[in-house]
């Protein structure tokens, strides 16, 4: 398991419940809590300044998102993504994002477009600087914003249920430098389609964007499995 950095900045004051959930989610997505590893409850209680009860409530939320597994009398562990998991998730998410894109192109206002543009240009700046984490966070914010702009609450609810697991997979894909550069080009196309209010094109770009990300993640997982098998021999 990856070492948890006890030297990380502690939250000031009493953290909100959502802060604990999002904080642990970030540790999983960014690999500080490695796939298959045990969740160190004591360390996390100290890190987030909470007792065991709110921490375990946060773990239940993450279990419902498919990020961790809760085992009676054995604590919790980070779930490991398989190639089959990724294929299924991205197949569904591609359809959801295509629909969200069509709706966003139909409903987007000038103010909302300006907000997406600002996020995009800041994200592109982080890419130029090679700053993966701030790039990735803005990337996820843009994808979430497209769903928000679409204005379909049912679609947003379904998206939210998959968001945690898909975010982990997307982070794996962005670690690949060729895919990272390609993904930025695709985001340029997404922005153009939003500007022209071309819902059909935007939906197609988003679906293809997810398909390519899926293939990159599956390849990464396959390579990790091969390396793990070789090391075990």
* Reported confidence tier of residue 14, pLDDT bands at 50, 70, 90: low
Alpha-carbon 197 to chain mean position: 26
Cβ count near 49 (within 10 Å): 15
DSSP code, position 197:
T
End-to-end CA distance of the chain: 21
* Reported confidence tier of residue 29, pLDDT bands at 50, 70, 90: confident
pTM for this predicted structure: 0.78
Distances (CA, A) of 28 to 68, 186, 190, 212: 9, 26, 28, 23
More confident residue, 168 or 104: 104
* CATH class given for the domain over 17-78: mainly alpha
DSSP code, position 80:
P
Please give the CATH architecture assigned to the domain spanning 83-232: Up-down Bundle (1.20)
CA distance 121 to 222: 33
**Orientation angle between helical segments 153-174 and 199-232, nearest 10 degrees:** 50
pLDDT tens digits, 181-197: 899 999 999 999 999 99
Dihedral pair phi/psi, residue 71, rounded to 5°: -115, 125
Structure tokens at 199: 């819902």
**Taking residues 1-7, what's their average pLDDT?**
46
pLDDT tens digits, 120-175: 999 999 999 999 889 999 999 999 999 999 999 999 999 988 888 888 888 887 77
The per-residue pLDDT for 7 is 45
Residues in contact with 109: Cβ distance below 8 Å, sequence separation at least 6, in sequence order? none
Q: Where are the domains of the chain?
A: 17-78, 83-232
Please give the full DSSP string across 7-42, using - where no structure is assigned.
TSPPPSSPPPHHHHHHHHHHHHHTTSS-TT-B--HH
Cβ count near 40 (within 10 Å): 16
């Amino acid at each position: 398991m990856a070492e948890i950095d006890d030297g990380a900045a502690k939250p000031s004051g009493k953290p909100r419940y959502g802060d604990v959930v999002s904080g642990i989610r970030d540790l999983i997505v960014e690999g500080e809590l490695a796939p298959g590893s045990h969740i160190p409850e004591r360390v996390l209680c100290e890190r987030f300044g909470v007792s065991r009860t709110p921490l375990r409530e946060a773990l239940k939320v993450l279990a419902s998102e498919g990020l961790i597994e809760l085992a009676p009398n054995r604590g919790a562990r980070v779930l490991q993504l398989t190639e089959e998991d990724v294929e299924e998730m991205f197949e569904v998410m591609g359809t959801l994002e295509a629909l969200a894109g069509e709706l966003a192109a139909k409903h987007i206002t000038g103010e909302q477009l300006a907000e997406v543009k600002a996020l995009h240009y800041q994200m592109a700046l982080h890419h130029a600087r090679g700053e993966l984490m701030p790039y990735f966070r803005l990337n996820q914010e843009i994808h979430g914003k497209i769903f928000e702009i679409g204005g379909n609450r049912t679609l947003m609810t379904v998206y939210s249920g998959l968001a945690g697991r898909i975010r982990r997979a997307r982070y794996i894909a962005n670690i690949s430098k060729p895919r990272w550069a390609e993904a930025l080009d695709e985001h340029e196309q997404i922005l153009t389609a939003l500007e022209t209010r071309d819902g059909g094109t935007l939906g197609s770009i988003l679906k293809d964007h997810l398909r390519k990300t899926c293939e990159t993640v599956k390849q990464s997982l396959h390579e990790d499995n091969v390396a793990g098998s070789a090391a075990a021999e």
